[in-house]
């Protein structure tokens, strides 16, 4: 394959790690430029541990502030990417409620700086934009697909929905291969701390090691659609390489309750979660839907993508990594 320059924002997150590895495995001549505030050495060490067979000499971490239009313009002018994957931006729904103005401005601003720079330079690379299931109306009939109605309820969701609409407008205006993936919950061993999935696994390990007595959760009955981040990265690539110009829902298509998640995780340690888990409904976010499940049928049919790991395998993978982490 020929040499090409690929730009990934938010490269040091879990999606960026899997995506970078897959892109280099597909094209060893590709130059990956990752925009991140983290140190280059930190990411290189992390991805080397993830894939020891990977050649990292073509990975370049660029310290660029995506909120600064001039900096963004300069990096795009310099590398002239053939592909852009925009995975960056603040992503805490809870935090956005207290930092509403920041979220409403920063997420669209970073996207606009990328796309406006491309337009001004007359460059129209394949462009993937990460969107969110948080943008859907909570009263939709399940499962949720591309035709489900939208009704963002938080500053984070509002900002993501604004960008989603911009993607569609740019695609029509410029005949641009720019697409949005509406992503549901996805997890891996590289997921940041603080999310429920990681919290449950970390707590089970601590309880097994007598380092923690109890785990408090907001509900046992809430159902969410959890996928493996590696599968999501494959879906992102499938979208970007597809001649189909549609936006797609990215999820497993299966719902797992918090109780099921607890049972699978604690059973891995021969523990009965009922003895250690406390339910405190005050932890729940007001207005959160009881059940969220995706319908990725269009993505499967039009790109051939299919998830590889089920929820049991995902939990086992994360536990194994955490137990063997140096």
Q: Does residue 183 come out as left (phi exceeding 0), alpha (psi in the -120 to 50 range) or beta?
A: beta
Share of the chain above pLDDT 90, in %: 79
pLDDT at 39: 59
How many angstroms separate the CA atoms of 236 and 250, rounded?
A: 8
pLDDT above 70 (res 40): no
pLDDT (mean) for 310-322: 97
Q: In what order do the strands lie in the sheet with 4-9?
A: 59-62, 30-35, 4-9, 83-86, 126-132, 178-183, 248-250
Architecture of domain 4-187+228-251+295-308: 3-Layer(aba) Sandwich (3.40)
Which two tokens mark 111?
A: 């996207």
At 326 the pLDDT is 58
pLDDT at residue 81, rounded to an integer = 98
What is the pLDDT at residue 137? 96
Segment 135-157 shows an average pLDDT of 95
Give the per-residue pLDDT at 90. Answer: 72
Q: What is the pLDDT of residue 270?
A: 98
Handedness of CA 193, 281, 217, 256 (dihedral sign): negative
pLDDT in tens, 251-263: 999 999 999 999 9
pLDDT-above-70 percentage for the chain = 98
Summarize pLDDT for 168-213 with one digit per residue, the tens: 999 999 999 999 999 999 999 998 888 999 999 999 999 999 999 9
Q: Give the mean pLDDT of 156-168.
A: 96
Are the C-beta atoms of 3 and 29 separated by less than 8 Å?
Answer: yes
Taking CA 314 as the corner, what is the angle to CA 214 and CA 57, rounded to the nearest 5 degrees?
Answer: 115
Domain residue ranges in the chain? 4-187+228-251+295-308
pLDDT tens digit string along 10-28? 998 999 999 999 999 999 8
Cα torsion for 111, 151, 145, 167, to the nearest 10°? -20
């Amino acid at each position: 394959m020929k040499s090409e320059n690929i730009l990934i924002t938010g490269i040091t997150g879990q999606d960026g790690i899997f995506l970078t590895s897959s892109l280099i495995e597909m094209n060893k001549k590709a130059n990956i430029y990752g925009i991140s505030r983290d140190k280059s050495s930190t990411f290189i060490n992390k991805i080397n541990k993830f894939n020891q067979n990977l050649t990292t000499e073509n990975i370049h971490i660029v310290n660029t502030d995506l909120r600064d239009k001039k900096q963004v313009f300069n990096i795009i002018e310099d590398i002239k990417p053939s592909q852009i994957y925009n995975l960056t931006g603040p992503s805490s729904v809870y935090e956005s409620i207290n930092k509403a103005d920041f979220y409403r401005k920063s997420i669209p601003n970073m996207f606009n700086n990328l796309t406006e720079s491309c337009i001004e330079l007359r460059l129209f690379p394949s462009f993937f934009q990460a969107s969110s299931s948080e943008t859907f109306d909570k009263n939709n009939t399940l499962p949720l697909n591309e035709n489900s109605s939208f009704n963002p309820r938080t500053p984070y969701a509002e900002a993501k929905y604004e960008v989603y609409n911009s993607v569609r407008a740019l695609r029509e205006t410029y005949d641009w291969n720019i697409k949005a993936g509406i992503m549901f919950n996805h997890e891996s061993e590289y997921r940041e701390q603080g999310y429920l999935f990681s919290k449950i696994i970390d707590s089970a390990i601590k309880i097994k090691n007598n380092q923690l007595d109890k785990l408090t959760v907001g509900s046992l009955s809430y159902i969410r659609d959890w996928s493996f981040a590696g599968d999501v990265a494959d879906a992102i690539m499938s979208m970007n390489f597809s001649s189909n110009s549609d936006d797609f829902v990215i999820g497993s298509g299966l719902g797992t309750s918090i109780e099921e998640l607890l049972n699978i995780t604690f059973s891995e340690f021969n523990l009965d979660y009922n003895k250690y888990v406390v339910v405190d409904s005050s932890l729940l976010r007001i207005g959160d839907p009881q059940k969220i499940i995706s319908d990725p049928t269009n993505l499967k049919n039009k790109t051939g993508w299919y998830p590889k790991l089920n929820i049991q395998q995902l939990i086992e993978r994360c536990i194994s990594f955490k137990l063997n982490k140096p």
